[in-house]
Amino acid sequence: MIVRHIWFDVDGTLYKTPETLEEKIFEKMFDVVTLETGRDLDLIRAEYTLAYFKGFENINEGKPLRSHTRVFSKVYGLEADLARRTYGLVDVPSALEEDERLRDMFSKISLIPLSLYSNNYHSWIVKILKALGIENVFFRHELNGESAFPKDGSTKGFERILTLSRAQKEPHTVLFVGDREEVDIEPAHRVGMTTARVCWDERSEHYSLIADRKYELKDIYSLKELVSHLMNLE
């Protein structure tokens, strides 16, 4: 199989989010939603967490939203851009370190075109890449929170990915790597792409096939083993 292009989500995919950092992000989101809606903080905290991780019956078919921009817009009727600005108030880059293993992984797959698809602003993505020490990795395309293709659970952005990758007729040759089933993996899979979900767990295998064209990775560093496997498929 030819891997024509690899696209990456950023947050939670290129690095494992420290638990303390995730708590800070959620608390900042709770505070802003409370301020905007005038409702009780404890109620917002419980409601927001439920919508993000488990879902509401009358929203998104009861599926978890797994995206701050989606919770802001679908649950509270707030602008998705407000969630992005709120995220920017948390100093995520300072919680990250340069990652030599990540640099090595990218060097191993550098002959394949690489691109990014994130809901963050471009300026924020640049800070994340620099903090991880991969600012010199060449990413051919970038779809971000300033583009017309927000990552909202629909296939619109992933269809654009296929166009940019010139793979509309062979979508399976594009590999999308993300950490969230609901907003990264499922929409990409629906348009025919091969997907890899970064699980960040202690499994022994680098990767595993869980369904047709759907893989799970132990961590982001295991991507080089998966790419090698895919390139050797008939």
Q: What is the pLDDT of residue 163?
A: 97
**CA angle 19-24-29, nearest 5°?**
125
184 within 8 A of 70, measured Cβ to Cβ: no
pLDDT tens for residues 20-63? 999 999 999 999 999 999 999 999 999 999 999 999 878 888 88
**CA angle 157-172-189, nearest 5°?**
50
pLDDT tens for residues 92-105? 999 999 999 999 99
Burial class (CB in 10 A: 0-12, 13-18, 19+), 11: buried
How far apart are alpha carbons 146 and 48 in whole angstroms? 24
pTM of the model: 0.93
Q: Which residue ranges form the domains of the chain, and what is each CATH number?
A: 5-16+97-231 (3.40.50.1000), 19-87 (no CATH)
Q: What is the residue whose two structure tokens read 């640049």?
A: 126
Mapped onto helix, strand or coil, the DSSP state of residue 130 is helix
Q: What is the pLDDT of residue 37?
A: 98
Report residue 46 as tokens.
Answer: 């419980």
How far apart are alpha carbons 145 and 84 in whole angstroms? 8
Q: What is the pLDDT of residue 109?
A: 97
Residue among 132, 39, 30 at smallest CA distance from 72? 30
Residues of the chain predicted below pLDDT 70: 234
